[in-house]
Amino acid sequence: MTHLESYEKKVKLKDIGLCHCQGAKDIKNIVPMLELANRECLIISDGDAIAIENQKSHKEAKLWGNWLRYDEIVHGIVTGEDFIDQNFFNKKANSQLEGLEKFKGNPPFVVQQDNDKLKILSGFLKSKQFDVFEIKSIINLLKESLYNGLTPKVIRQEYKAVIVAVLENYEKTSK
């Protein structure tokens, strides 16, 4: 890619608005507002069971906007956290676990693969006798910590495919 092509893509990305939902279940509440405003809409979500189910319902109802999941863009990616460097993820996960009584005396948590990190962490916590509510709380705190400390150097190169998908969708819908 030439410098000019790269510059043109950056300019296009600046024209694109952004809206966040609290999970795939919330998308059905946001999309009608975008439709009323006549704004094009590309939904990018996790590739977990809840997102797959909501995407299917969205498409069957022929609702506004295109919907892509991470796993449709990059094979094996399930959640946004899978785009985060393993070492950074492990460091943040262990900082969440260090002060917990149930975790004392355990070796550090180490995820050794790039994909489905949250499911692996959840399984690990379950094996250490954490209940469902504790696991959900730990994962929510971890997500907050991950995204508050996020820098470009801890984002895996595979995330570029998401940016390309956004640009391709934009180019199709803006003509």
User: Mean of the per-residue pLDDT values for the chain?
Assistant: 88
Q: What percentage of the chain exceeds 70 in pLDDT?
A: 91
Q: Which helix (H) or strand (E) holds 58?
A: helix 49-60
Q: Specify burial of residue 12 (Cβ count, 10 A radius: 0-12, 13-18, 19+).
A: middle
Task: Return the SS3 of 22.
Answer: coil
pLDDT digits (tens, 9 = 90+) for 84-95: 999 999 999 999
Q: How many CB atoms lie within 10 A of CB 116?
A: 19
Query: What pLDDT is attached to residue 4?
Result: 44
Higher per-residue confidence, 39 vs 144: 144
Higher per-residue confidence, 148 vs 22: 148
In this predicted structure, the answer to whether residue 155 has a pLDDT above a threshold of 50 is yes
Read off the pLDDT band of 3 (50, 70, 90).
very low
Question: Which two structure tokens, joined as six digits, stand for 93?
Answer: 């996960």
- In DSSP terms, which residues pair with 66 in a beta bridge? 42
pLDDT digits (tens, 9 = 90+) for 104-113: 888 889 999 8
* Closest among 75, 31, 90, 25 to 52, alpha carbons compared: 25
Section 77-90 average pLDDT: 94
DSSP states along 112-145: -SSS-HHHHHHHHHHHTT--HHHHHHHHHHHHHH
Query: What pLDDT is attached to residue 2?
Result: 46
User: Helix crossing, 117-127 with 86-97: angle to 10°?
Assistant: 30
pLDDT digits (tens, 9 = 90+) for 27-42: 999 999 999 998 888 8
Is there a contact between 130 and 138 (Cβ–Cβ < 8 Å)?
Answer: yes
In this predicted structure, the answer to whether residue 173 has a pLDDT above a threshold of 90 is no
Cα within 13 Å of Cα(1), Cβ side: 9
Section 100-123 average pLDDT: 89
